[in-house]
Structure 1
Amino acid sequence: MPDVGRLFGVERSLTGRFWSLSATDEDALRKFALQTGLPDLVCRLLMLRGVTADSAASYLAPRLKDTFPDPSTFQDMEKAAGLLLDAIAENRRVVVFADYDVDGGTSSALLARYFRHWGREMGLYVPDRLLEGYGPSPEAFRHLKEQGADLVVTVDCGAAATAALEEARRIALPVIVVDHHLMGTALPETTALVNPNRADDTSGYGHLAAAGVVFVLLAAMNKVARERGIAPEGGLPDILQWLDLCALGTLCDMSPLQDANRAFVRQGLKIMARGQNPGLRALADIAGIGTVESVYHATFMLGPRLNAGGRVGDPWLAAKLLATDDRAEAIALAEQLDGLNQERKAVEAMILEQATAQAERQIEQQPGRNVIVASGEGWHPGIIGIVAGRIKDRFHLPTIVIGHGEGLGPVAKGSARSVKGVNIGDAISQAAREGVILTGGGHAMAGGLSVEPERIEAFSDWMATHMGAFAEARAEALRLEVDGVLAPAAATLELCEQIDSLGPFGQGAPQPVFAIRDVRPLSPRIVGQNHVRFIADDGSARLECIYWRAADTEAGQAISAGRNVHLVGRLKENEWNGRRRVQFEVVDAADAASN
């Protein structure tokens, strides 16, 4: 790889980043192209993503039959399948206990639809983020027991709910845990625990979202049912018809798009485009999408609306919407979620403005600061994680956003997002061990915490000191990897099609990023709330560009002022009123005159 910061001579972009052009071995590239018969650009992009010539075909066209996990390799998978089939046969009351995000909602809907095919209806329980927090609680399990539940299945939660599972055992409430989150070596005592990330699981599918684990569980149930010689009237369900839910959960949980996940999403998007799920169809109509056929539609149009209930409203709405077959009910639920999403965006904008101002002051007062900690009274715990992510993306620093007071209880709640190379979960866990905060933890890129409001400033100081050890890693996080250099004249629909052939794009399968040298922004204008739309002109060709959420940034202001800039971004095909055209989505800009 070339030395960092040398692409176009850019040592520091207008967002404070440096650009590095990814390199491939030209001899290896020629061999790759000869072996696969693919265009040079596609070969180069595949090589940069670690794809070999032998695996190129399966990467570009992943098939479920080649990548689908063997259910028997998961600890407790077939045991759980058998217990659920027993419950169906005995007409026992089964309740699914789901997390309040998209992964939890899709997981619960998959189980509900499977049970309905057998003529059984599952109960549903989704905890309230404000009142109950994340995952099962002893109180929730006692409530379900009192309501007549014979069996509870937790999805996308439960693996770490030790106190709740102990209470379930005490009150003789059988619980099957279906989860995917990391857990320790000590396993809680429960009826069955399906989690590819439990210490003794050797399936190798720890990267599955909960929806993926549940989808494999449905396959296991069909397998066990065939072995027992049982089936509902009309035969066993074709679970492939519900692959749209599996794909949606996988995408919205940011699970890496490799092997099975890649096939789930590639095939699931095709099913999603058919509009067979009444809930997704209604939500897409309200969102003005038309046909849901892309990762963008699923992740950035449907996902936020489905999450809105768990963030600022009724946490049950998404799970109900995805499970219903009633068109009228689906429309009503979709309208509620869309309204809550509008409310969420308004609350987010208010918190983001205040938190950004705090971040700017911290950086101004401490230019070498390696973490941002912002806090405010009444900042909703369902929104602070989104805001932390926005600020992290803007300043390229690990960010923690904390809300307290005004109906949020006596304890402040915080959410963290980090940059590559800085393990924010470990830092928060250490703060908890040292008594700086009450509780907290997470993983490398995200975390959560609780802290006494009067201790927020002390925690901020502790984090600033602790994060000093990550200065080198933080600097590396400022590197922006560029796949290639592009001229505006080369940005054609044919090129877009070549790039799209590498999809689906997502976590672990990044969309290609290209750099454009020295263009003048023409006709810049603000669209939406703070997006910048303009035409990039290099003197010989022009290219339509959009820079999301950039109007109030230094980069956006440089473009609006018409200064010559270098750009880094992604090529997208855009269709409007039947006209197809290429659009460049800018992710960074640098002054051309100073380089």
Structure 2
Amino acid sequence: MLRVSKYERTGSRVPACSAKSVEWLVCPSLCRSSLRVSLYKWVVAPPPPPLHLARFPHLPPLVVQVLYNRGITSPEEVKAFLEGEEKFHNPFRLKGMSQAVTRIRKAIRHGEPIAVYGDFDVDGVTATAILVETLRALGGHVIPYIPDRVREGYGLNKMALHSLAHKGIKVVVTADCGIRSVEEAKYARRIGLDLIITDHHSIGPEIPQAVAVINPKQEDCLYPFGELAGVGVAFKLAQALLLSNSQVPLKARSTALEEEAFYDLVALGTVADMVPLLGENRSMVIKGLRCLNSPRRPGIRALMQVAGLAPGSVDSTAISFILGPRLNAPGRLSSAMLSLRLLMSQDEREALELARQLDQWNRRRQRLMNQALEKARQKALDEMEKRMVILVADREFIPGIVGLVASKLVEEFYRPAIVMELGPERSRGSARSIPEFNITAALDQCASLLRKYGGHSAAAGLTIDTHKLPEFQERIEEIAEQTLGALDLKPTLFIDAEVSLAKLNWDVYFHLSKMEPFGYANPEPLFLSRGVRVQSSKLVGEDANHLRLTLADPKGSRLWNAIAFKMGDRISSLGDYVDVVYTLKADNWGGERRLQLCVKDIRPSEV
């Protein structure tokens, strides 16, 4: 068997934030399958040493292994993780925090107008809301500003800064943007604006000149946790302002002065931005989910009502697939100020009307995305044989849709994808990538061809002069060929343990559920059972494209219900015995609660 270091890859099935190393086993025999049966490579984690298992006699061994796979190994770490009690860090350990607090307090004291300049995604909008509410509660004169994606694009722009200065703004605080706005920062200084940058995106070759730059990814930043979302950084600034000992006259105290009032917003932005759900992020999201399930904000209550979410039903999946897309939709197609107004609204009637508008924007977004995806997919198919990187540009593509289309292309073809709105002079687009290819690092090597770009290893945005697109395509293709050319590119399922179905029970499920919320770097545990007998199988769903199975473990008499979504076409190729990868779920049917397997991949058994 080939051994692969756990931290030589950054796929979503693997936590990339622990200092501890675990090796996983690649089973070559598991990688051979027809396209019809499976598209995945399976990588199975080896069991922890027996002495390690013996340290936790009160926990099911399977749960200990899952924690071990995530680098959670000491009794103290295990206790803190399962109880969700990981401590928050002092916000003043963030580089630039003291300078930011000092300048903001001065602005409030002297009545200087402050602008909060946010990004237009959920992370940026929630970060903007936190800072606006905090500064207003502290007595500041504050206006929010979120650029129009279509007219202005991502990040700081000189026209917006000029307009803010003309309105008398003295201090601009960014929310989830600005870390690569070097020229815009120089311009802000020239026109008399004091700039404070709060961001979490990757650092470029040059850090912008500003009164303060708060980003935990700065090399000389001593903050213990570097994976905060933009809303997390904004929350830490709010926390620091509230902790500050400066004697600034405050308005009458309100709930906005209590940091607990922001956990709902932190959870929305953190989960939606797909940052690692470990450490401080996980602690804040746990608190935020409690708030979301007993929502105090009229806007969140209204959005849940329109989306059909009952109080008590919000988890990380609901944020990712129900609330997040609706909050993102206005910023994708028009102005994210609509989403900001919803989150900050104190009026029930206004909130319900805004929530309905968000829902309408989301329906339009879905239609436009499906139309663009159909066109992009055909263009991708035409070039798949000769290119490593999918690059699709079209005049009809909308800037707010291109990132979604790129994500869908990556999901289907498992190649880096760049989707561009083709303009007469300049083209803008979004890139999405696979764990084997750091897209922002690749764009760094193309910087001389680009007007603007930024992002992280898996996603980026870029702007380019249209006439340079052919040269850019050749350059990015060369880089990809050097990096990916020798690899067998298939998505990988990182499996936590190989286990007999007979070892699964409610005690295991209960302890696994304490690892929630699941998300990036804390994925839902995956298990492999081999040689499982197929007792029955049938097609279900409106289009008969899902597969419902009854499985039997050869080592036990119990039958297991299993559901395999979008795998109906495999029904004729499974055989009598299968190897199956799945997550463990609780299913309520007919008033009976029982355990069920949610199948992620399935193959004819090789046992």
TM-score bracket, shorter-length normalisation: 0.7 to 0.9
Quick one: which of 33, 45, 58 aligns to 2:80?
58
Return the alpha-carbon distance in structure 2 between the equivalents of residues 520 and 346 of structure 1: 41
Shift of 1:581: 4.6
Aligned partners of 1:491 and 1:543 also within 8 Å = no
List per-residue Cα deviations over 1:18-70 (Å, max 9, x = no partner): 21221123413422323xx212111111011111133111111232xx52121
Unaligned 5+ segments in structure 1 are none
- Is the alpha carbon distance of 1:438 and 1:163 closer, same or farther for their aligned partners in structure 2, counting shifts above 3 Å? closer
1:244 to 264, 269, 285: 264
Pairwise CA distance, 1:285: 1.0
> Which among 39, 47, 72 is matched to residue 16 of structure 1?
39
Superposed CA deviations along residues 237-296 of structure 1, whole A, max 9, x for unmatched, are 211122111122111111112221121111111111111122111111111111253111
Task: Determine if contact 2:583/2:599 at 8 Å carries over to the other structure.
Answer: yes
1:522 is matched with: 537
Task: Please name the residue that 1:177 is paired with.
Answer: 197
Amino acid at match of 2:538: S
Matched, 1:159 2:171: no
Amino acid at match of 1:190: A
| 2:547 corresponding residue in structure 1 | 534
Q: Residue 588 of structure 1 aligns with which residue? A: 601
Residue pair 2:420, 2:429 contacting (<8 A) in 1 also: yes
* Partner Cα separation in structure 1 for residue 426 and residue 389 of structure 2: 22
User: Which of 326, 329, 336 in structure 1 is aligned with 2:347?
Assistant: 326
CA contact (8 A) 1:286 1:338 kept: yes
The Cα of 1:305 is off from its aligned counterpart by 0.8
* Contact 2:111/2:141 (<8 A) preserved: no
Partner of residue 78, structure 1: 98
In structure 2, the partner of 1:398 is 416
Compared with structure 1, are the counterparts of its residues 239 and 7 closer, same or farther at alpha carbon in structure 2 (3 Å cutoff)? farther
How far is 1:130 from its partner? 1.2
Distance 1:327 1:270, change over 3 A: same
Q: Is the 8 A contact 1:102 1:307 kept in 2?
A: yes
Aligned partners of 1:121 and 1:318: how far apart in 2?
21
Match of 1:338 in 2: 359
Tell me what 1:25 maps to: 48
Indicate conservation of the 8 Å contact 2:149/2:334, yes or no: no
Distance apart, 1:424 and its partner CA: 1.9
Residue 451 and residue 185 in structure 1: after superposition, are their counterparts in 2 closer, same or farther (change >3 A)? closer
Matches of 2:581 and 2:207, distance apart in 1: 47
SS where residue 254 of structure 1 aligns?
coil
* Cα distance between partner residues in 2 of 1:90 and 1:378: 49
Q: Which amino acid counterpart does residue 239 of structure 2 have in structure 1?
A: A
Q: Is the 8 A contact 2:299 2:345 kept in 1?
A: yes
- Choose from 431, 443, 452 the match for 1:416: 431
Residues 118-157 of structure 1: pairs in structure 2 closer than 5 A: 118=138, 122-157=142-177
Determine whether 1:355 maps to 2:360: no
157-166 or 131-140, which moves further after superposition? Answer: 157-166
Task: Please say if residues 587 and 593 of structure 2, whose CA atoms lie closer than 8 Å, have aligned partners that are also in contact.
Answer: yes
1:81 Cα shift?
Answer: 1.9
Contact 1:572 1:582 in 2 (8 A): yes
CA distance in 2, matches of 1:200, 1:289: 43
- AA aligned to 2:221 is D
Report the Cα distance in structure 1 between the residues aligned to 2:434 and 2:528, rounded to whole angstroms: 22
| 1:475 aligns with one of 477, 481, 488 | 488
Q: Which moved more, 1:40-49 or 1:174-183?
A: 174-183
Go from structure 1 to structure 2 and tell me whether the alpha carbon gap of 1:167 and 1:520 turns closer, same or farther (over 3 Å shift).
farther
* Partner residue in 2 for 1:104: 124
Does the 8 Å contact 2:43/2:492 carry over to 1?
Answer: yes
* Partners of 1:524 and 1:532 within 8 A in 2: yes
CA offsets, 1:282-321, max 9 Å, x none?
A: 1111111112531111222111111111111222112221
* SS of residue in 1 equivalent to 2:488: helix
- Structure 2 distance, partners of 1:463, 1:298, is 34
Counterparts of 2:72 and 2:344, CA distance in 1: 37
Of 335-344 and 203-212, deviating more is: 203-212
Query: Could you give the per-residue CA deviations for residues 125-171 of structure 1, whole angstroms, max 9, x where no partner exists?
Result: 11011110111111101111222323221111122222222222222
- Unmatched runs of 5 consecutive residues or more in structure 2: 4-23, 553-557
SS of the residue 2:314 aligns to: coil
Alignment of 1:87-98 (within 5 A): 87-98=107-118
* Distance in 2 of aligned mates of 1:211 and 1:104: 7
Name the residue aligned to 1:43. Answer: 64
Which residues in structure 2 correspond to 1:416-565 (within 5 Å)? Answer: 416-433=431-448, 435=449, 440=453, 442-453=455-466, 456=469, 459-471=472-484, 474-475=487-488, 478-485=491-498, 494-517=507-530, 519=534, 522-527=537-542, 532-539=545-552, 541-547=559-565, 550=566, 555-559=567-571
2:7 match: none
Deviation at 1:347, TM superposition (A): 1.3
* 1:474-493 alpha-carbon deviations (Å, 9 max, x no partner): 43764321123456676655
Cα distance in 2 for partners of 1:321, 1:521 equals 49
Deviation of 1:234 after TM superposition, in Å, equals 3.8
Aligned twin of 2:283? 263
Secondary structure of 2:510's partner?
helix
Q: Give, in whole Å, the separation in 2 of the partners of 1:82 and 1:251.
A: 31
Tell me whether 1:203 sits opposite 2:216 in the alignment.
no
SS of the aligned residue for 1:509 comes to coil
Distance 1:444 1:582 in 2: 37
The answer to whether structure 1 residue 228 and structure 2 residue 247 are counterparts is: yes
TM normalised by structure 1 equals 0.87
State the identity as a percent: 30
Q: Distance in 2 between the 1:315 and 1:521 partners?
A: 49
- The aligned amino acid for 2:252 is E
CA distance in 2, matches of 1:172, 1:505: 45
C-alpha contact (below 8 Å) 1:184/1:198 kept by paired residues: no
TM-score by length of 2: 0.86
CA 1:287–1:514 in 2, change beyond 3 Å: closer, same or farther? Answer: same
The one-letter amino acid of 1:414's match is: G
Further displaced range: 565-574 or 54-63: 565-574
Partners of 1:105 and 1:531 lie apart in 2 by: 40
User: Aligned partners of 1:41, 1:167: CA distance in 2, in Å?
Assistant: 57
Change (3 A) 1:253 1:569: same
> Distance in 1 between the 2:172 and 2:499 partners?
55
The CA distance in 2 between the partners of 1:378 and 1:429, in whole Å, is 28
Amino acid of the structure 1 residue aligned with 2:510: E
